[in-house]
Structure 1
Amino acid sequence: MSDNQNTKGSILSFGELLLRMCPDGGGQWLAESKLPCFIGGAELNVANALALWDLPVKYFTAVPENELTSQILDFLEAKKINTSAVYKHGRRVGLYYLTQGKDVKNNAIVYDRADSAFADLKPGMVNWDAVLEGVSWFHFSAICPALSQQAADVCLEVLQAASRKHIAISVDLNYRPKLWQYGKKPVEIMPQLIQYADIIMGNVWAEETMLGIEVTPEMHESGQQSVYLKEALYSSERIMDAYPRCRAVANTFRFDAGRGIEYYTALYTGNRFYHSPTYTTDTVVDKVGSGDCFMAGLIYGFYNKQDPQQLLDFATAAAWGKLSILGDATTQTVDEIYNIMKQ
């Protein structure tokens, strides 16, 4: 882990702010002329959780300068998210549409992000030294480099700047196949970015797609937790071997169990392998943001130097709890998450 993590500076979350339009599945929103809207984006969801849990959080994105974005930034500031690093240029905020109750990996998602202010960022445009002032932790996800080669180049630029400053870096290997449309496969882009990461979070299938770490072909047919966890350990060890800077790898497992969800996670750090309790629920309100909540829980634990098992259990309970909360961002307090862990 970077030595700079010992300095309790701000946690900077880097990514595109999105508005999620959330129609119901039956088309009632058309009859009622009501279309629910949530402020989202994976990295903003992480920032929201960390601010709610009383950690110092900055957020970097790019938005046009207009009345709409002024309202949005005021809303985030009211949540104790420092928006001073937000870069203002361009013409529009990115959107996506997702039918209520569906997963972001589902065909129900429609992106409308082309030519957004964030997508139009270019290398050399932003003073990263100024953005990273007072920052001891930098978080990004694989969604940004999925947008375009230009976006991937911006990611590389800011990661190199953060690395020069010895800032701890975390990444969520979010895989969004609908976004990787510019002629490059994730495995051609992500390894050069991942080399800067101290904490890597994802799942074994995303690690195969993005880092080329193959999953045992017959693994999925087993359906056995012990087999999945063994695969997580194997994948984690391979990542550690390939990326010397990495100090922790976390894997999540979320499966549909009938009408509900089965959820558990794993963490490999300090040459030891940990796994969480298994959570199940028949009631899922909103699948969006659960993984972001897990990522926030990891950052919360590492930032506060918690025991690995404790921080994994906290992150897992936070992610599972998010499944019962409407919207992109969690509303759970630290105490409420600890109460879940006691159940």
Structure 2
Amino acid sequence: MLRFATFGDILIRLSPPGFKRLSQTSSLEINIGGAEANVAVALSQWKNEVQMISAVPDNDLGKMVTDKLSGLNVDIKNISKGDGRIGLYFLEPGTGTRGGKVTYDRQGSLFSIQDPDNWHWPELINENISWFHWSGITPALTESSFLSTKKALEHVSNKGITVSVDLNYRGNLWKWGKDPIEVCPQLVAKSDIIITNEEATRKMLGLNIDYIDEEVIRTNYDRMAGDILDAFPMLKMVFIPIRRTVDASENYISLYGFDGEKGYLSTGIQVKNIVDRVGAGDAMTAAIIHGISSGKPLDQIINLGVAASALKHSIPGDFLISDFSEVESIALGNKSKISR
């Protein structure tokens, strides 16, 4: 069995109940999240061995995080603890014509201020690890987080470890003095599989993809994926998530995948009555990773990715809590039926 490792900051999410605005509420619901943690949890639900590499404060909040992840079968032995704070984000849920809103309070989180030399990569990613996953959120946090990611990728390079990245552009996080175009290409150059959309490709990789028409589903995705592979020869596969928003309660999602020879576009799913879209992209990423590592063909992988993402829209919180059989059933078109 392959063993996976994800690396990133773990957050506590605070949100008002129902669809209240922050200014209306007298209470906040607590969830655990973070892009890399979300991927780890989904993979662990699907009977994969997954470890999370991170840092949390040595207090009750840090314990809450590690207890939650451990309870979901994520290996937490490489989540270090120390003095400091945990990152928070406040989510005001969207509904109908009102979009959701995220307010970050994560500056100075213990993870983000770790000295890059604190991560002992030969011990953290040893011969037992077959797959390493990172996201574009981590290098956005601080220069230290960027350098930590860079050192991790330098360590895994040429060790036969598959490296995946979900670029995840977050403009509000890039505050430490570097533009993502100065930082991300050198990290992507050491990766094997990339999940990226039009915005991330432009703003984080600096590629000119002005030929993409975002209102037309299949326009030139073959060309975009080919341009990405040409720019980053180490990459073997490109995945492009596609989301078309009707309003905050209804989205259309699909997924394009390219393996260097042939591109496929998934069956699209119209997701209505959205409960919680946070983590839906991470669920898609986890399904891509699981599908590749299980040896599934590309045309199946993309439909599993869309199914996992659609399913996450129906589940409150950041995590996808689901057996993989449920994802497979949705991918086959079995939606909304009672399982008896």
TM-score normalised by L of structure 1:
0.91
Matched letter for residue 47 of structure 1: A
d(CA) in 2 for partners of 1:37, 1:75: 12
Contact map agreement 1:254 1:263 (CA 8 A) in 2: yes
CA distance in 2, matches of 1:324, 1:336: 13
Answer whether contact 2:217 2:242 (CA < 8 A) is retained. no
CA–CA distance in 2 between the matches of 1:216 and 1:184? Answer: 24
Compared CA separation, residues 328 and 129, structure 1 to 2 (3 A): same
The aligned runs of 1:35-74 (5 Å cut-off) are: 35-74=28-67
- For the pair 1:257 / 2:246, whether they are aligned, the reply is yes
Q: Deviations over 1:205-256 (max 9, x none)?
A: 2111111112226723xx22232xx2x2212111111111110000011111
Mapping of residues 83-122 of structure 1, within 5 Å = 83-101=76-94, 108-122=101-115
Q: Which amino acid aligns with 1:316?
A: V
SS of residue matched to 1:174: coil
Which residue of 315, 323, 326 corresponds with 1:333? 323
Structure 1 runs, 4 residues or longer, greater than 3 Å off: 24-31
What's 1:303 paired with? 293
| SS of residue in 1 equivalent to 2:218 | helix
Query: Which residue in 2 is equivalent to 1:225?
Result: 217
Name the counterpart of 1:211.
205
How does 1:74-223 map onto structure 2 within 5 Å? 74-101=67-94, 108-133=101-126, 134-216=128-210, 219-220=213-214, 223=215
Amino acid in the other structure paired with 1:234:
R
Shift of 1:340: 0.9
Please give the per-residue CA displacement for 1:85-130, whole angstroms capped at 9, x wherever unaligned.
112223111101110237xxx7721111111110111121121111
SS at match of 1:226: coil
How has the CA–CA distance of structure 1 residues 213 and 27 changed in structure 2, closer, same or farther, with 3 Å as cutoff? closer
CA contact (8 A) 1:248 1:268 kept: yes
* Counterpart contact for 1:248–1:270, Cα < 8 Å: yes
Amino acid at match of 2:324: V
Counterpart CA distance in 1 for 2:32 and 2:161 is: 28
What 5-or-longer segments of structure 2 have no aligned partner? Answer: 334-340
CA distance in 2 between counterparts of 1:264 and 1:45 reads: 20
For 1:218 and 1:342, locate their aligned partners in 2 and report how far apart those are by CA, in whole Å. 29
Match of 1:315 in 2: 305
Mapped to 2, the partners of 1:60 and 1:218 lie a distance apart of 36
Q: Secondary structure at the match of 2:116?
A: coil
* Contact 1:101/1:285 (<8 A) preserved: no
Identical-pair percentage: 32
Spell out, residue by residue over 1:273-295, the C-alpha distance to the aligned partner (whole angstroms, 9 max, x if none): 01100111221111100100010
Letter of the 2:136 counterpart: A
Q: Provide the alpha-carbon RMSD of the alignment.
A: 1.9
The answer to whether the aligner puts 1:23 opposite 2:12 as a matched pair is no
Structure 1 portions without partners, runs of 5+: 1-7
Give 1:27 shift.
Answer: 4.5
Indicate conservation of the 8 Å contact 2:7/2:134, yes or no: yes
